[in-house]
Amino acid sequence: MYLATQSRIQQAVRDFAQRQWQLDVNVLISVPPQPAMGDMALVLAMELARKLRRPPKQIAEEIAAAARLVPGVARVEVAGTGYVNIFLDRAAYASRMMATTIAKTEVSTAVPLAEKIIVEHTNINPNKAAHIGHLRNAALGDTFVRLLRARGAQVEVQNYIDNTGVQVADVVAGFLHMEKKTPEDVARLIADPTIRFDYYCWDLYARVSKIFEEDKSRLELRRRTLQEIEHGEGDTARVAEMVATEIVRYHLRTMLRLGVEYDVLPRESEILHLRFWDQAFELLKQREAIYLESEGKNAGCWVMRQKGAAETAAKEIDSADATAAGDDTKVIVRSNGTVTYVGKDIAYQLWKFGLLGRDFHYQPFHTYPDGRVLWVSSMTSGQAGAPAFGQGQKVYNVIDVRQSYLQDIVAQGLRALGYQSEADRSIHFSYEMVALSPRTCELMGIELSAEDKARPFVEVSGRKGLGIKADDLIDQLIGEARREVDSRHPDTPDEKRAEIAQKIAIGALRYFLLKFTCTSVIAFDLKDALSFDGETGPYVQYAVVRARNIFRKLSDEGGRFDLSRITPELLASSLNSPEGDSFWQLLYLCSRWEFAVEQAVATSEPAAMAKYSFQLAQAFSNFYHHHRILIEQDPDRKMFLLWLVSVLDSHLTHALDLLGIEVPAAM
RNA sequence: GCGCCUGUAGCUCAGCUGGAUAGAGCGCUAGCCUCCGAAGCUAGAGGUCGCAGGUUCGAACCCUGCCAGGCGCACCA
């Protein structure tokens, strides 16, 4: 509704500018700072003043005259130095809102929706439990997927599993060499219901890392373990497979608690064994994107020269600290013949665009409660019926900002292969890290160095075992919510209370992770995250719950909401009455949900959607306190108010759904 | 050293791609439950938008230079 109206006005003004001044203008429409000033504002007159060498106010009058003719516009005013303020025909607008039910594919923009978009997110190394940093990735990725789907796009969600990397190797080395376990021992550990295997690995990983740190001579063990895993050999590979698969199952369970689901799990082991890399390697060599280094510290490696590196290379760098001197090449294949992450990722990106000329085999890995099947890449041709994965027209890679450099190199690899446009359509959806506030560290008994204490936040480190495990946090949030629910609803059945507490906890967590923009480091503070007041998920949920309570109470009293009694005349009289302004503002804000979606997608900022939902909840809370609906004497007015509440309910529920937040039955 | 990001109220953050009197939440102060649930509402105090120049009708936003902080710059991912 909002976007359609907006584009109608844009079109009219653009046509007018074309006719009147033979100018091709971009008509920007904004919302005036105060509702009394109008519903939409044009600043075009001020922009054109110089070009037309005429006073902006005069130009504004002409634009206003054109805007007045647009259907749905009630009146237009020129204000200030040349603003064109548009007031919409409220009743007509409301009628059209009533005619359209809010649906997932309703955003009425002219974006090409036939394209298939691939979103890759989560990508946790399968060697330990997930922590809060991973939750931010998944919450952002999942919300972005929901936003894209709301616009009608076809989206495929991939969760890349690096099951052959160093991180898994470290845990495997820990099991086999530190703990002297056999594959059977590890299998028993996994089968033991009293042990959280992912938590066990969390600790083991920290221990192994410490030992490698202390004694560099043991790094040979890491190297050997890694190689055995890559080649799929013996006990090492068996244990790696067991560990990675089991941990992935834990990760999926954790993410499902947040309502996050995936379509396919492409695994690194298949990238290697199905020779994806060999194919990419051939391409890279053919196009001379990489070359075999014969001298220097990278002798024996296949390397890629970086963009603009030639001049840098020409300069002689004789500084002592060579690490700081900046390298101009990036190793793709190590001297021992193994491939680096960048190399594998180039192959993976090529596959995503359908440029590799190869495909995975697939097997079902898991069936979600809603019936959706999650597939995993596989060596052997598995079950029939797997969808056609990959072949995206656009790819979003949700990866934290610290990997920007590597992402750039991957994109450069694509360009070096001649895939310029694919590189442009492979987007690094970058976000800042989640760190811990010093206060939270203290609360958790984490000892801080004097250096760390002076910092505004402390970086999470899986390697050091420093961080908050995702499930621990969720459990704590549920506990906190449960206490509140118990005290408010002592008579509600236990099962119901558990469900309510769970939804509140998840709502709080997802909102907390989403309300910051991507460039903001979240200095995670336990107290803030556990709060259910103010700008939080529960505040927004509460608004919907109260809206629904009105309808529940209504039917308890034997009343009935009858949509057919909302006539155009009633809408007109209600919205144009002296107090109609406040009704209109609520209604208008509801209609702008699609703008929030557009904004969030265009800027890759799910936070915009979170902010919008909070704003809408706030507007309703205010409305709620000003109007006692159920005791309203005038039956027409009561119906109108009920209608407003129902519009709010559907829109806010939908907004929350896009954030992956459910509405509890009560609060 | 080079690259990217950030600096807005006491704290944590928004700020619709350059527009009108810079906004929220938390915290603080003062009110509001006989009334659809107070996880709520209302009001108040609190700002040199890091600093200095520049661009223009107009700058928190764009450009330049400083200052401060963060993150990258591996044959780890």
Distance between CA atoms of residues A426 and A280, nearest Å: 17
Nucleotide closest to A79 measured between CA and C1': B20
Considering only residues 532-571 of protein chain A, which place a Cβ less than 7 A from any atom of strand B? 532-536, 538-539, 542, 545-546, 549-550, 553
Which has the minimum average pLDDT: A196-205, A226-235, A638-647?
Answer: A226-235
**Spatial distance from the CA of A180 to the C1' of B76 (Å):** 25
**Residue A312 reports pLDDT greater than 50:** no
Considering only residues 621-640 of protein chain A, which place a Cβ less than 7 A from any atom of strand B? 621-622, 624-625, 627-631
Sorting pLDDT into bands at 50, 70 and 90, what band is A462?
confident
Do residues A526 and A434 make contact, with C-beta atoms less than 8 angstroms apart? no
A307 touches strand B (CB under 7 A): no
Residue A384 φ/ψ region, left for φ over 0, alpha for ψ in the -120 to 50 degree band, beta for the rest: beta
- pLDDT tens digit sequence for A642-664: 999 999 999 999 999 999 999 99
**Spatial distance from the CA of A619 to the C1' of B21 (Å):** 21
**Spatial distance from the CA of A228 to the C1' of B47 (Å):** 61
The third-level CATH classification (topology) of the domain covering A529-658 is Isoleucyl-tRNA Synthetase; Domain 1 (1.10.730)
**Spatial distance from the CA of A576 to the C1' of B7 (Å):** 46
| pLDDT for A112 | 54
**Residue A43 reports pLDDT greater than 60:** yes
Do residues A429 and A396 make contact, with C-beta atoms less than 8 angstroms apart? yes
The better pLDDT of the pair A201, A323 is held by A201
**Residue A104 reports pLDDT greater than 80:** no
**Residue A106 reports pLDDT greater than 60:** no
How many DSSP H helices and E strands does chain A contain? 27, 17
**Residue A316 reports pLDDT greater than 60:** no
| pLDDT for A219 | 83
Please tell me which residue lies nearest to nucleotide B75, judged from CA to C1'.
A334
| pLDDT for A381 | 76
Do residues A304 and A289 make contact, with C-beta atoms less than 8 angstroms apart? yes
Sorting pLDDT into bands at 50, 70 and 90, what band is A455?
confident
- pLDDT tens digit sequence for A229-261: 988 878 999 999 999 999 999 999 999 999 999
Q: Within chain A, which residue ranges are assigned CATH 1.10.730.10?
A: 529-658
Q: Within chain A, which residue ranges are assigned CATH 3.30.1360.70?
A: 2-88
Q: Is A399 exposed, middle or buried (0-12, 13-18, 19+ CB in 10 A)?
A: buried
Distance between CA atoms of residues A663 and A568, nearest Å: 31
**Residue A340 reports pLDDT greater than 50:** yes
**Residue A538 reports pLDDT greater than 90:** yes
- Token pair, residue A386, equals 């797997």
* Predicted TM-score (pTM) of this structure: 0.95
Report ipTM (2 d.p.): 0.97
| pLDDT for A183 | 96
**Spatial distance from the CA of A320 to the C1' of B63 (Å):** 36
**Residue A320 reports pLDDT greater than 70:** no
**Residue A323 reports pLDDT greater than 80:** no
**Spatial distance from the CA of A579 to the C1' of B43 (Å):** 21
Chain B nucleotides covered by protein, CB below 7 Å: 1-6, 12-17, 19-21, 23-27, 35-42, 56-58, 69-77
> With respect to CATH, is domain A266-431 assigned 3.40.50.620?
yes
A355 touches strand B (CB under 7 A): no
| pLDDT for A317 | 35
Three state DSSP letters for A424-471: HCEEEEEECCEEECHHHHHHCCCCCCHHHHCCCCEECECCCCECCEHH
Do residues A283 and A417 make contact, with C-beta atoms less than 8 angstroms apart? yes
- pLDDT tens digit sequence for A624-638: 999 999 999 999 999
A160 CB contacts (<8 Å, ≥6 apart)?
A: A120, A123, A265, A266, A267, A268, A348
Do residues A460 and A433 make contact, with C-beta atoms less than 8 angstroms apart? yes
**Residue A117 reports pLDDT greater than 50:** yes
Nucleotide closest to A332 measured between CA and C1': B75
Residue-by-residue DSSP string for A395-418: EEEEEEGGGHHHHHHHHHHHHHTT
Q: What is the average pLDDT score of chain A?
A: 90
Nucleotide closest to A37 measured between CA and C1': B20
Distance between CA atoms of residues A274 and A412, nearest Å: 24
**Spatial distance from the CA of A253 to the C1' of B11 (Å):** 35
- Mean pLDDT confidence for A440-453: 77
**Residue A272 reports pLDDT greater than 50:** yes
**Spatial distance from the CA of A322 to the C1' of B15 (Å):** 43
Considering only residues 56-95 of protein chain A, which place a Cβ less than 7 A from any atom of strand B? 79-81, 83, 85
**Spatial distance from the CA of A244 to the C1' of B23 (Å):** 47
Which has the minimum average pLDDT: A99-113, A248-262, A576-590?
Answer: A99-113
Do residues A506 and A479 make contact, with C-beta atoms less than 8 angstroms apart? no
**Residue A103 reports pLDDT greater than 70:** no
Distance between CA atoms of residues A599 and A608, nearest Å: 7
Which has the minimum average pLDDT: A280-289, A321-330, A541-550?
Answer: A321-330
A4 touches strand B (CB under 7 A): no
Do residues A26 and A39 make contact, with C-beta atoms less than 8 angstroms apart? no
Do residues A74 and A87 make contact, with C-beta atoms less than 8 angstroms apart? yes
- pLDDT tens digit sequence for A388-434: 999 999 999 999 999 999 999 999 999 999 999 999 999 999 999 99
A300 touches strand B (CB under 7 A): yes
**Residue A202 reports pLDDT greater than 80:** yes
Please tell me which residue lies nearest to nucleotide B76, judged from CA to C1'.
A166
Distance between CA atoms of residues A665 and A541, nearest Å: 10
Distance between CA atoms of residues A170 and A178, nearest Å: 10
Sheet holding A302-305, edge to edge: A291-292, A302-305, A329-333
Query: Would you state the torsion angle of the CA atoms of residues A435, A438, A439, A442, taken in this order, to the nearest 10 degrees?
Result: 110
| pLDDT for A113 | 62
Please tell me which residue lies nearest to nucleotide B70, judged from CA to C1'.
A521
Nearest to A432 by CA among A453, A455, A406, A460: A460
**Spatial distance from the CA of A57 to the C1' of B53 (Å):** 32
Cβ of A310: how many Cβ atoms within 10 Å?
A: 10
A220 touches strand B (CB under 7 A): no
Q: Is A363 exposed, middle or buried (0-12, 13-18, 19+ CB in 10 A)?
A: middle
| pLDDT for A648 | 96
User: Which CATH code fits A2-88?
Assistant: 3.30.1360.70
Nucleotide closest to A619 measured between CA and C1': B41
Considering only residues 39-58 of protein chain A, which place a Cβ less than 7 A from any atom of strand B? 41, 43, 46-47, 49-50
**Spatial distance from the CA of A328 to the C1' of B50 (Å):** 34
A11 touches strand B (CB under 7 A): no
- Mean pLDDT confidence for A525-534: 91
Q: Within chain A, which residue ranges are assigned CATH 3.40.50.620?
A: 266-431
Can you state the angle between helices A537-556 and A494-514, rounded to 10 degrees? 140
In one-letter notation, the amino acid at residue A235 is D
- pLDDT tens digit sequence for A128-146: 999 999 999 999 999 999 9
**Spatial distance from the CA of A35 to the C1' of B21 (Å):** 14
Sorting pLDDT into bands at 50, 70 and 90, what band is A310?
very low
